[in-house]
Amino acid sequence: MRHDAAHLVIDPIMAPELHEHDSPDCFVSIDIDDCDCGPCLAGRGPLAKYTTLSIGLMCGTTGISQRLTAKEARRLADTLLSFAQVIDDVAEVGNEVEDLA
């Protein structure tokens, strides 16, 4: 669906990061950004820990992560909930149509 109502663009204040890791698994990762390791400190820049969260999409040994502020995360969460409701509603209508057939 490429309708404006089904599309969200968030222009986060921080750039996404490309990662290499050992795990061959594919997964989505969501973390509160509370790490004091060198790469996390460098990636956060002047922001304090616990002020952002990180959403990652890992596939094979490569992944990309995006840090979001609390405001950006709330906007994403609200949109995901709204879109999930649309999907539930469409599925329900589809099931009702199938039941009538």
Which runs of consecutive H residues, i.e. helices, occur in 17-69? 38-44
Dist. CA 11–CA 15, nearest whole Å: 9
Dist. CA 36–CA 54, nearest whole Å: 14
Ordered per-residue pLDDT tens for the chain, 101 residues: 566 667 788 888 888 888 887 878 899 999 998 888 888 888 788 888 899 999 999 888 899 999 999 999 999 999 999 999 999 999 988 777 777 76
pLDDT at 47: 87
88 exposure class (CB count in 10 Å sphere: 0-12, 13-18, 19+)? exposed
